[in-house]
């Protein structure tokens, strides 16, 4: 999703939370928040957003990204794997013996970094899925286009 607005149609409202159906576009494949609004079983992308504008079912609304939560999500998705890999390589080079399972220390350290990278990826996938079900909103309603 770019810095521009995306439009969606309110399909339901539950407890101050609006379920907004978005139409897919090419930017979805490269968006850092695609786990939050990924298509469901019916192939439609549904966002659950606070209904701050008082939108009603059938309204078309503008959706925009919230900068702070997007930054937090991006930091977790990209920063944590990099940090995990570097920590794995650094600790491996300090702790592992010169030769382990017939592999030199450098290669063993690299493999330890890859292992921590994969573990952090599993953690991030779990975290983003968990956050998408909670009150963690990367997007917000900006305006109502059509009632």
**pLDDT beyond 80 at 145:** yes
In angstroms, the CA 73 to CA 96 distance is 33
Please state the pTM of the whole predicted model.
0.59
Q: Are residues 46 and 78 in the same domain?
A: no
Q: How many domains does the chain have?
A: 2
Per the prediction, the chain carries an average pLDDT of: 81
Q: Which residue has the higher pLDDT, 110 or 45?
A: 110
Range of the domain at 89: 69-129
The predicted structure's pLDDT at residue 140: 80
Asked, for residue 59, whether it belongs to a domain, the answer is yes
Q: Are residues 103 and 52 in the same domain?
A: no
Q: Are residues 49 and 89 in the same domain?
A: no
8-43 pLDDT tens trace: 889 988 888 888 888 666 666 666 556 566 666 666
In the sheet with 45-50, reading across from the earlier edge strand, the strands are 45-50, 17-22, 6-14, 60-65, 139-146
Asked, for residue 1, whether it belongs to a domain, the answer is no
Q: Are residues 52 and 101 in the same domain?
A: no
Q: Are residues 26 and 50 in the same domain?
A: yes
The predicted structure's pLDDT at residue 34: 60
Helix (H, G, I), strand (E, B) or coil at 49: strand
The predicted structure's pLDDT at residue 52: 86
Any idea what the CATH number is for the domain that residue 142 is in? 2.40.50
User: To which residue do tokens 């650094």 refer?
Assistant: 90
């Amino acid at each position: 999703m770019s810095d521009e607005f995306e439009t969606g149609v309110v399909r339901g409202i539950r407890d101050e939370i609006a379920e907004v159906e978005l139409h897919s576009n090419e930017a979805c494949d490269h968006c850092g928040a695609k786990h939050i609004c990924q298509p469901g079983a019916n192939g439609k992308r549904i966002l659950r957003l606070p209904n701050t504008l008082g939108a009603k079912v059938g309204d078309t609304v503008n959706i925009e990204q919230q900068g702070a939560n997007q930054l937090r999500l991006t930091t977790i998705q990209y920063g944590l794997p990099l940090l995990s890999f570097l920590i794995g390589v650094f600790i491996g080079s300090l702790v592992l013996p010169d030769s382990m399972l017939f592999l030199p220390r450098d290669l063993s350290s690299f493999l330890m970094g890859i292992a921590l990278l994969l573990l952090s990826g599993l953690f991030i996938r779990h975290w983003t899925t968990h956050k998408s079900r909670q009150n963690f909103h990367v997007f917000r309603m900006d305006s109502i286009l059509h009632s």
